[in-house]
Chains A and B, each alone.
Chain A
Amino acid sequence: MPIASVVITLDARATLHDAALAALRDDERVEVGNRVGARVPAVLETRTADEGEALVREIASVPGVLLVELVGVDRSLDEGDA
């Protein structure tokens, strides 16, 4: 179960902003943290690394999301899942 820390940068336009946040909150794999300006910290928990990578890409394509930056991935829980 890889746990990824990411920073999501949102579009400054308010409408897109809110829609994007709502979309993120709907995904149970995503835990959204406290916003810092236009930047939102989040934690992604997925079953596999591939799924994590796909999820990052998916979030990046959500309207209102400008940028997703990967801070780090903790894989200490997925012992032996390879």
Chain B
Amino acid sequence: MDRRAFLKQSAMAAATMAAARASFGQAAAPPKPTLPLAPANGVKWDKAPCRFCGTGCHVQVGVLAGKIVAIQGDPKAEVNRGLLCVKGYHVGLALYGKDRLTRPLLKKNGVQTPISWAEAIDVIAKRVAADPATFAIYGSGQWTIPEGYAALKLIKGGLGHNQIEANARLCMASAVTGFLATYGVDEPAGCYDDLDRCDVLITWGNNPAEMHPILFSRVIDRRSRGEKVTLIDINTRRTRTSAFADRSLLFKPNTDLAIANGIAHLLVERGTFDKDFVDKHCAFRAPDDKKTLQGKAISFDDYKRMLAEYTPANVEKMSGVAAKDIVYLAELFGRRDLRITSLWCMGMNQHTRGTAINSLVHGVHLLSGHFGKPGDAPTSLTGQPSACGTVREVGTLCHALPGGLVVAKAEDRAEVEHVWNVPPGRISAKVGYHTVEMFRRFSTPSDKGGDIKTLWVQTTNPGQSLPNVHELFEPSRKLADKFLIVSDVYPTATTKDADLVLPSSLWVEKNGVFGNSERRTQQWFKMVEPPGEARPDVWQLLAVARRLYELGVPGLKDKDGAYLFDVKKDGKSVPVWDFAHFFDVNVDEALFDEYRKLTKHHKKDLAPYAEYTRARGLRWPVVEQPDGSWKETRFRFTEGEDPYVAKGKGVQFYQSVTKDDRAQIWFNPQEAPPESPDADYPFWLCTGRVLEHWHTGTMTMRIPQLARAMPHAYVEMSREDASRLGVQDGEEVVLETRRGKIELPVWIDGRGSPPPGSLFVPFFDERLLINELTLHEHDPFSKQPDYKKCAARVRKKAKAS
């Protein structure tokens, strides 16, 4: 058969496949679903932040007869102003998947068997009491603030070690280290108000049109109102965001550092950087020989010399972005009459040079003075509703304590011990294992150094979301002395083989507090009952803590012998560990108001719980005013906005690592990634999310409207590669890396279009687990793995004969 005949045959196959798919609704219309419907009247509405991403939209939840029947965007919410995205509009349905977990299940003779809550709590407590040092908790940015705080206090205050981590390690740890390296303190200085004011929006390896649609709309809807906003998309594949961009710059994976350095080089070379801002507020820094997060101080001349090789021509060679586009970017940053906001999320964070590239983008903004004015901001976005609020601010990580305090510092430990009323020395100075290490040890036999033996997972799904799950997760399920406890709402890749499964309350089935990407802390009340015996995660933690207290584990008593989690009402202790009394008092309020005492040290002040019940969230620092009201902060480090900036300073980086009110402008060199395409594995493989599904899809895959729009994972491939490999749109191929292989249907020019030589697979589909293929190499500072690039190969599936 000649090539032409082959191509025609392929083209016919593609057309036939397309014809068989209903598309215009004229032929083969899908059967009309008949929906059960509740009455239109009598709905009671209450506010809650959305359960899904880190944007932190407020929804109004409509409840009738104890069930959610409708969702509306909250017009009083500043974040979303009445609008939602398709996930937000359907968030209420997340509670009603048919296979909700409703009873505790204990594995007996290999079978998960229903047991009582009392037995479940007892099983956990006895295991922990027998060997507290090998017990770890792994949570997420979906923990509410009180849940995360209770878990942290149980581990660090109750058991006296630091084996607690959260999945935000996999998602934004590099953003944290980037902030620390630059400003000496975590979390963005700007806020979403910047999006209303910027003249230029640059998205760095970011696709907000799908992942943060409300924020994206906030910008592009300005255009339909006649405002001019220039949108520049810097990416490794074309996305929905690219479709709206004025300029879309495609770069070779891992070369974003070269681009940032290229911009800085021109700003310095041409003298178009903001000399005044830099003189007053900045210092320069570069990596030191010991490779510490603090690096070493360098002079401006050193900085200039280090940047010298990043000429536009060289950057073009390194990154594939045309020299003239580097010049264009540098010219934009060189202008003082424009306001420039940068957005990024996983593209820069899930990167073996994550800390470095985060610092560089902050550096470009600082160098050019595009900082601190409304619309001038480097803004890191988050993927989970409380990655900031719980993981970063409460500090549910192996090195952290609440409010930005750390276990390594004696004075920080003493402060927390004081607030907890526990004896000095209770909190261990020894940093625990970071996520990848924690799972590696949980998956390693105990006699071979696997010193994590019992692991309690809450509100997350590491069996699907960890990189390289073959190595980090699955072996633990075959080791006899490893015990996995999972609190969740649905069966997942993690509960599947767990030793003990606990059914949890979800979202408005419990009280909660989240903290979003712009430092906004948001509260909600319980509105509906959970199904069956499902109970709040925070109760589960307090019940186990109480059982440990009863078993005589000493750490569960404070200095005065009282239960560590004693909650009082009218001066009397309430037995909140007994579920019958859990709702006698607002446990969230008690935990939150204790936690907020620890937030002032790093000027992350939170208001009392009661303030948040009235607001659609408040952005910290929230400081009490002379009249007794509480005022939030929009722009940190900026005079007139941030109450901690001294009069006359203009901008003051008061948390500076050098204690001189200066932020650090970093130089970090471009370096090769740990794995690149080669002759055996010629493709780049990138993973990520899609609009309809949230993370591992455990909730959204059970929402019919979302599952129908995106029913399964796929591999995105360029038309050129597809035609070279002779594969059709929709044809299943074998995708393989050095760590594993799966079969996926090909999507050509689908949601996104990767350039030739590049592939993209979303990670939401537990039936097509891409994280069996990804790399667990991680950033040296943040320990965050790189899910965005590894080498892969694709082949046609062998024909079944």
Enumerate chain A interface residues (CB-CB to B < 8 A): 1, 3-7, 9, 31, 33-43, 45, 66-67, 69, 71-72, 74, 76-77
Contacts and interface: CB of A to CB of B under 8 A. Distances in A.
B10 interface: yes
User: Secondary structure at chain A's binding surface: helix, strand, loop or mixed?
Assistant: strand
Interface residues of B, number: 23
Contacts of B20: 36, 39
The 5 closest A-B pairs by CB, nearest first: A41-B15, A5-B15, A37-B27, A39-B19, A38-B27
Contact of A9 (B11, B26, B723): B26
Chain A CB count within 10 A is highest, among B3, B8, B19, B24, for: B19
Contacts of A3: 4, 7-8, 11
A41 B7 contact: no
A62 B26 CA distance: 18
Interface centre among B3, B18, B719, B729 (most CB of A within 10 A): B18
15 contacts: A5-B11, A5-B18, A7-B23, A31-B12, A33-B16, A34-B16, A39-B19, A40-B19, A42-B15, A67-B26, A71-B15, A74-B7, A74-B11, A76-B7, A76-B723
B598 interface: no
A39 B8 CA distance: 19
A72 B24 contact: no
Contacts of A39: 19-20, 27-28
B542 to A, nearest CB: 58
A8 to B, nearest CB: 8
Given A36-B19, A69-B24, A5 B14 contact: yes
Contacts of A72: 11, 14, 719, 729, 748-749
Nearest to B748: A72
Indicate the member of B11, B18, B749 with the most A CB atoms within 10 Å.
Answer: B11
A43 B719 CA distance: 17
B15 A6 contact: yes
Contacts of B3: 77
Q: Which of A3, A69, A72, A76 lies at the interface centre, i.e. has the most chain B CB atoms within 10 A of its CB? A: A72
A36 B11 contact: no
Contacts of A69: 18, 23-24
Nearest to A76: B723
A17 to B, nearest CB: 12
Contacts of B11: 3-5, 43, 72, 74
Given A39-B27, A67-B24, A74 B18 contact: no
Given A31-B8, A43-B11, A76-B723, A9 B18 contact: no
A28 to B, nearest CB: 13
A34 B748 CA distance: 23
Given A9-B26, A69-B23, 18 more contacts: A3-B4, A3-B7, A5-B11, A5-B14, A5-B15, A33-B15, A34-B16, A37-B27, A37-B28, A39-B20, A42-B15, A43-B12, A66-B26, A69-B18, A71-B729, A74-B10, A74-B723, A76-B7
